[in-house]
Amino acid sequence: MNKYLKESVKYLLRSYPVIYPYIKEIERMYNMSHDELQERNERVFLNIFRKAYTKSSFYHKLYTEAGIKLEDIKCLDDISKLPIVTKDMILHQSDALLTTSKWKLLKNRTSGTTGTPLTVFEDWKSIWREQAYFYCYRKRCGYIYGQPLASLRGNLGKNETTLFIHVSNTLFLSSYNINALTATIYYNALQKRRPVAIEGYPSSLFCLAMAFKEMGLQCNIPVCFTSSECLMDYQKKLIEEQFSTQIFDHYGTTERTVRLSENINHNGYFEDPGYSINEYLKDFIITTSLINSAFPLIRYKVNDVIELDKSKNNENYYIKRIIGRDEDFIICKDGSKVMRLDHIFKNASHVNMAQLIQYKKGELVIRIVPSVDFIQKDCDVLVANLNERVGKNNLDVSVQLIKKEQITYSSRNKFKYIISYLK
């Protein structure tokens, strides 16, 4: 099946008439009070738990060995009685989690950026519900499905730079061909289709924005949706400038166990209603999906760090920002872990891109893609900012000036700001 036909069919199977019932369901949840939503979530959770207990060989074995009976879990508060499930526990036995026949399901795999990819399964109801969440959120941000959209994700490879899908009104752009020589190709394609919104990995959007800036090009795309990577402040600034856009960030997982969307007023993130039950701990999240009973993930550990705003005191979590995975830390000489180091580039204005790599504890390699105006002072400012953050002499730092093509990406072309090779 060629790419044009594949993307057309994919859209039609998730189009508005198909997902309409789920859109109405989600809109109702947006309008529920806290107590009404909790009651609904409890009801869905209990149904998923009972189905998992009786129909999943993995959960039946896990719970019976833990001494948990079906009647022991009577309400949402009882969820804490259930054992935590980790990726390692299910890595080689995904089939054992299933509560329905595998032939009815679609298979997917996590990116494997943290190790071996995990095979996950979805039924069509969960796929449609997932799409409905996107529809409802994006509508609130000013974009309605069917309006012109540009997509800069992993849909196209190296051999195709652009592809327009008529049925979805979507212009797909390759994230693998962006450079100063091809910038006008991307620009002309965007000018021709004039999208209302653009979606993409932050790193890909940043690369395109940087290429446009180098060529003196600028677009006007009202809305921008980012996901799949942590959005850095320096990326956000340039993307919004070059595309004259407003960014709305989204956080989710391939396992479909947690979904956080940026507030419309950009003052943090919120949990999409009815999607999951989340327990936020210091270095990870414990999540329970409420949208996929065919492949239930109950109290599943996700190794991402979420910063909560402790000054807020209300019934809902106030999520300040998404920091990243627990391996996205730099380990200093004194054993302290530091993360979210993008601010070290403040006032180092001639840095186009950067990546931090750690091979040994207490040592750090800073790889920089410099602009033509980069000077030693920029390097000194960068190191001074780092020392202010981690403590002087707490890291042995080496700076490498590289080309953009030498930046390391994952197999899915996702950018990681911090790469740690520590075991």
Q: Model-level pTM?
A: 0.80
In degrees rounded to 5, what are phi and psi of residue 327?
A: -85, -5
CA–centroid distance for 269 within its chain: 13
What is the spatial distance between Cα 132 and Cα 26, in angstroms, rounded to a whole number? 8
Q: Tokens for 328, please give them.
A: 């996205």
Say what the pLDDT of residue 115 is: 46
Q: Do residues 133 and 152 lie in contact, with contact meaning Cβ atoms separated by under 8 Å?
A: no
Q: How many residues are present in the chain?
A: 423
Residue 307 exposed, middle or buried by CB count within 10 Å (0-12, 13-18, 19+)? middle
pLDDT tens across the length of the chain (423 residues): 588 999 999 999 999 999 999 999 999 999 999 999 999 999 999 999 999 999 999 999 999 999 999 999 999 999 999 999 998 899 889 999 999 999 999 988 775 444 456 889 999 999 999 999 999 999 999 999 999 999 998 788 767 889 999 999 999 998 877 877 888 999 999 999 999 999 998 888 988 998 899 899 999 999 999 988 888 888 899 999 999 999 999 998 888 999 999 999 998 899 999 999 999 988 889 999 999 999 999 999 998 878 887 655 555 557 887 776 544 668 888 776 676 576 677 666 677 778 889 999 899 999 988 888 888 888 888 888 888 777 788 889 999 999 888 888 766 566 777 888 876
Among the listed residues 361, 357, 295, the one whose alpha carbon sits nearest the alpha carbon of residue 100 = 295
Residue at token pair 């719970």: 63
Please identify, in words, the CATH class of the domain defined by 330-420.
alpha beta
pLDDT of res. 48: 97
Amino acid identity of residue 134, one-letter, is F
Cβ-Cβ contacts under 8 Å for 390 (sequence gap 6 or more): 330, 332, 336, 338
pLDDT value at position 118? 80
User: Is the Cβ–Cβ distance between 341 and 365 less than 8 Å?
Assistant: no
DSSP per-residue letters across 286-348 = EEEESS-SSS---SEEE-EEEEE-TT--SSS--EEEEEEETT--EE-TTS-EE--GGGGGTT-
Closest CA to 256 of 136, 129, 145: 129
